Amino acid sequence: MTEQLRLLAIEAARLGAAVCLRHWGETVHLATKSAAGDVVTAVDRAAEETVRAALLEARPDDGVLGEELPERIGTGSVQWVVDPLDGTTNYIRRLPHFGTSVAARSTADGSWLAGAVCAPALGMTWSAAKGLGAQLDSGSGEVRLPLALMESSVRLVGTGLSYDPGHRRRQLRELGTAMAEYTDMRRFGAAALDLCLVAQRSLDAFFEDDLAVHDWAAGALIAEEAGAVVTRSESAGASARWQ
């Protein structure tokens, strides 16, 4: 079952990402959500509608929890968790690190079953199914994660910052301690993609303590299935690291 869910997650994520890519660079309606810098576009909603339609056409009894639309309570065995446009700030600034994230979890025990993240401007789709490992498709077929990279002394960590000024100040104060194990850091601005970069082993770790479940749902499973150690909190974000 998990492999079928992975394939559906890939299909839905790619459809949502195609909506985002189609409108990339256009002037779209923009609004501020919870705080300055936390923005949403009309494309976010259109992409989520596309993802939801694909999921429910295939599995009409399932529930869907998205970022922009009201939650759909289902009677099926799966709840889908969707971030239609992760990296909205990147998107409106013409930075290519954005994508659509789709994950499936069991309604029986809450376990994460499958997920996919599609970054259309990068031409990359990451995916995983519980117990079956993680894959990357860059257009020439799937390769198993993590990738085989050159040996080096480089240790890279990724992170993100809160939209809340007080929370952000605390994160910056604590950054020096968090960096102690690493030689450098990267800040790409899309948690789902950051977690997938951990899955690749392009990043050695990622942490962010101000994320919603839709931000990390698919990426955390992909990193975990690649072999990284993952922690999740629906109220306090997620982290992933290689030991």
Q: What is the pLDDT of residue 86?
A: 96
Q: Which residues contact 141 (CB under 8 A, 6 or more apart)?
A: none
Q: What is the pLDDT of residue 233?
A: 85
Residue 153, helix vs strand vs coil: coil
Give the other-Cβ count within 10 Å of 53's Cβ.
13
Q: 227 with 146: CB under 8 angstroms?
A: yes
Domains and CATH numbers, the chain: 1-145 (3.30.540.10), 156-241 (3.40.190.80)
Q: What is the pLDDT of residue 40?
A: 64
> Is 61 annotated among the ligand-binding residues?
no
* Cα–Cα distance list, 167 to 31, 109, 173, 240 (Å): 22, 32, 10, 21
> Is 62 annotated among the ligand-binding residues?
no
Q: What is the pLDDT of residue 27?
A: 64
Q: 124 with 135: CB under 8 angstroms?
A: no
pLDDT in tens, 161-189: 767 777 778 878 877 787 888 999 898 99
* Cα–Cα distance list, 241 to 125, 187, 206, 226 (Å): 20, 16, 6, 11
> Is 142 annotated among the ligand-binding residues?
no
Q: Which residues contact 174 (CB under 8 A, 6 or more apart)?
A: none
Q: What is the pLDDT of residue 26?
A: 74
pLDDT in tens, 109-147: 999 999 999 999 999 999 999 999 999 999 999 999 999
User: Global pTM?
Assistant: 0.92
184: β partners = 156
**Residue ranges for the chain with pLDDT beneath 70:** 27-40, 162
> Is 174 annotated among the ligand-binding residues?
no
